[in-house]
Amino acid sequence: MQNIPWLFLNKGGPRRLHHAPSVIEKYPGHAAGKPISITPSKGSEETYGSSLNNSPEANPYAPFKSKMDWEIAKWAKLRGSGSTAFTDLLQIDSVRESLDLSYGTSIQLNKIIDEKLPGRPKFTRSEVVVNGEVFHLYSRDILECVRALWGDADFAPYLFVAPEKHYIDKDKTIRMYHNMHTGKWWWSTQDAVERDNPGATIIPIIISSDKTQLTVFGNKTAYPVYMTIGNSPKEIRRKPSLRGYVLLARRRILANVFHVCMTHILAPLKDAGATGIPMTSGDGVTRRGHPIYATFVVDYPEQVLVTAMKTGECPTCEAPRDELGEDSDFPLRDLESILSALESLDEGPAIYARACAEAGIKPIYHPFWEGLPYMNIFQAISPDILHQLYQGVVKHLIAWLTACCGEAEIDARCRRLPPNHNIRLFMNGISNLSRVMGKEHDQISRFLLSLVIDVNLPDGLSSSKLVAAVRALLDFVYLAQYPMHTTETLSHLENALQRFHDNKSIFVDLGVQEDFNLPKLHSCRHYIMYIKLFGTTDNYNTEYTERLHIDLAKDAYRSTNFKDEFPQMTLWLERKEKIYRHEKYIKWRLDGCPAPPILDDLAPGLVYERKLKMTKHLTLKSIRMPRLVTDYGATFFHDALARFVVHLNHPELSHSQVEAKSQDLAFSFNTIPVYHRIKFTTEDPYTARGPEDTVVDSIHVQPTKSLKNGEILPPRFDTALVNDGTGQITGTAGYRVAQIRVIFSLKPRHIRTLFSRGVTPPEHLAYIEWFSPFTEPEPDHLMYKVNRSLKNGDRLASIIPVANIRRSVHLLPKFGPVAPADWKSSNVLDKCTHFFVNSMTDRHIYATLF
């Protein structure tokens, strides 16, 4: 048994995963994004207060008479039960009087909200006529929705008002892409607008729409249309709680009325986008804004509907449908020729149909994008991580692997994976899953590669080509989600796709796929182009609006009586938005009516480094050392602690001297306090309330546990990535994998007896068992192989400061041709001898180990 001397106290503030740009090239001149008024007008909060006729000295809760009056109203609309139950509650004797409420029924409360609280634009009901049939559309004025988002005081400090080019080197050879204003589309559109209207502020309009099921049983569906603006950082737009999206419209029907509905909704953008309109941001600054339709974020069925393509074709380029799977590039669709074909509508149905066929589109009566300024619809169909990659590429990949490796073997391996904070364990396997959503495909992709390493393939085929193809496709999925890209990382993305094409024939050889003419797989060829145009893919991902379906569609539907539900749903949403808006105003008043902060340039899109966070309270205040051996498996705890104490007291001693001196060290205590969990958080600076910490990882260290219902939870001792003090933000140098067995502290009186004067040990310590150092990644699957570090058959153990632990790490067992029957999820870390370090549990570890 041997100790590895290891002492590193992690000092300094949090580091960033990606570095900030070295050079930022502003749009030339000073006109773009320039205010058109010298004196700022009222900010959004002052304007809101004025609409309430509320002076700075007045009741901040008005029109509610008191804090209690307001809090009950907020609870009723955001958290409470149904309207009837709330009315019944208020009509109980003395309830209203005791609380001193200004309303006695739900109807009276609704009247206050409807008549006295301002809100976002109201929904209007319109009738659209198609082929003599009348359809109802519930929509909002898109320009007023743009004003609401642009004028939000919480967003004002962060708004991008002009395009920029970011570079990571001073010679400007490596360009960086992240938020939308760093893409080429904004810069070129600014050029086009400036030629006619100098001094423009581009407001990129991002539209997202996706079918959602309103009921668990039955066929009630809706097609919400969401809108946001690309001026806000993507970190704001992707958080539903910050309300960076607006529900623009609801429509019940899809195919034959789609373009008519969208034409009605987007019609105001024609003039406003071309000539501009005054737009006042939340800090009172007015600019001439040009709201221009930039991207449409939809699933493939709606992509072909939007572009008037046929199913099976690419909505972006001219690739023939029988060549979608080829490793070839094709030109983008010719917008000019298609617009020319659309102009032949007045020449008769036959001529129009022939012209559209020659142009490669279906004959649609005035597609909605026909007259929108500065937009190319075939360039506006942006990538979608959720539907194209997880619900498309990964879904196909899982089906191929299950078919070629066998359901039984794939499921057996799933059941034998060790637990980890970022891994969902499918203890019943994955072959029988039904109604699998993008979230499940995401979770499966995190361990999918390990399921095929060394697996037995039919006909004696080697698994190396299969593993290489799977690794390449998963690399593409992960690289495509980088929150920042450079020309260098985009080359990695291109390389990953090329590696897949080089190895994809294995699926044909195995008889599980005849060709690869799959539109969602073909769409991968366009990702680099779109990232360069519109910034990274987290600018336009339906994953964010999927979450809005719950808040703005499903919950809204459940609030109705299920008869003629759309008017009720829109009214419910308007009231909820008014409550959120009034809550924000009240907080502003109670904070002293502060002006929006003036911020230094944040580096948008940066992923902030994780911070280790210990719980405030011990799990067990006192546990006897023999139990650390029997319950926690800390076999050499006494020896490791002795070496740690000697090394801290005498850092000048060599390893052999520390080993010798520790043999004589005795402890005057036999109990220590322990913790069962470590958490890791990351800072989110893009919030109205200031930076917040979010838990993104944790490490569990706990013995067998008996629950009150008699169930026995098996022990869990997670593995982690440990830094020796030289480890950098990325790469394996300075890091090593270890299993955490005990997390503990030393009591003050014990510290005084163990350590020399002036020597203070870290507050939190961990007893760990080492795995072998990182070497080179294995070929084909490119993961690092590790095994237990042993000497004379004993596991190497140390005690280290908890601050040395960077994050959890997931180990994938090396199963061999067949998963051993005696391996289980709870014992595989002890039974298995060789592991692969999982680099795909989350994007943080992927960027670290890539």
Two tokens at 112?
A: 């206050």
756: in domain: yes
Residues 327 and 455 in one domain: no
pLDDT at res. 215:
54
Residue 605 confidence class, pLDDT cut points 50, 70, 90: very low
Residue 644 clears pLDDT 60, i.e. is over it: yes
- Residue 572 banded pLDDT, cuts 50, 70, 90: confident
User: 241 and 136, same structural domain?
Assistant: yes
Q: Is the pLDDT of residue 114 over 50?
A: yes
- The two most distant CA atoms of the chain are separated, in Å, by 101
Name the DSSP letter for residue 507: H
Contact 506, 466 (CB under 8 A): yes
Query: What average pLDDT does the segment 269-277 reach?
Result: 96
Q: Are residues 169 and 190 in the same domain?
A: yes
Same domain, 740 and 622: yes
pLDDT: which is higher, 16 or 803: 803
707 vs 222, higher pLDDT: 707
Residue 466 pLDDT exceeds 70 = yes
Residue 684 binned pLDDT confidence (cut-offs 50, 70, 90): low
Same domain, 390 and 475: yes
Please indicate, yes or no, if residue 848 is contained in any of the structural domains: no
> Range of 340's domain?
309-363
Beta strands in 567-691 (DSSP E): 611-614, 620-624, 671-675, 677-684
Smallest CA-to-CA distance from 267 within 119, 118, 126, 120 is with 126
Is the same domain home to 452 and 336? no
User: pLDDT tens digits, residue range 58-69?
Assistant: 899 999 999 999
Residues 439 and 314 in one domain: no
Q: Token match 């539209």: residue?
A: 207
The position carrying tokens 């005791």 is: 98
Q: Please check whether residues 661 and 757 belong to one and the same domain.
A: yes
CA–CA distances in Å: residue 180 to residues 202, 482, 531, 830: 11, 14, 9, 48
Domain end residue (candidates: 486, 506, 537): 537
d(CA 266, CA 269): 6
pLDDT for the residue 219: 63
Q: What does the pLDDT look like over 11-27, one tens digit per residue?
A: 233 333 345 677 899 99
| 105 and 128 inside one domain | no
User: Residue 8 has what pLDDT?
Assistant: 31
Give CA–CA dist 194/187, Å, rounded. 10
What H or E segment, with its residue span, contains residue 378? helix 377-380
Q: Where are the alpha helices (DSSP H) in 480-559?
A: 487-503, 505-509, 519-522, 527-534, 542-549, 555-558
Is residue 161 located within the same domain as residue 109?
no
Mean pLDDT value across residues 801-820:
95
Average pLDDT over residues 15-41: 77
- Verify that 623 and 763 share a domain, yes or no: yes
Contacts of residue 520, defined as CB under 8 A and 6 or more positions apart, other chains included, come to 300, 387, 388, 389, 391, 392, 393, 396
In this predicted model, what pLDDT tens digit does every residue of 290-309 receive, in sequence order?
999 999 998 999 899 999 99
Residue 604 has pLDDT above 60, yes or no: no
Q: Dihedral sign, CA of 296, 299, 302, 303?
A: positive
Total number of domains in the chain: 5
Backbone Cα Rg of the chain:
30
418-447: average pLDDT: 94
Which pLDDT band holds residue 234 (cuts at 50, 70, 90)? confident
Query: Is the separation of the CB atoms in 398 and 448 below 8 Å?
Result: yes
Round to whole Å and give the CA distance between 793 and 672: 28
Average pLDDT over the chain, rounded to an integer: 88
Place of tokens 């080179």: 776
- 137 pairs with which residues across the strands? 126
Helices 395-405/438-445 angle, 10° precision:
60
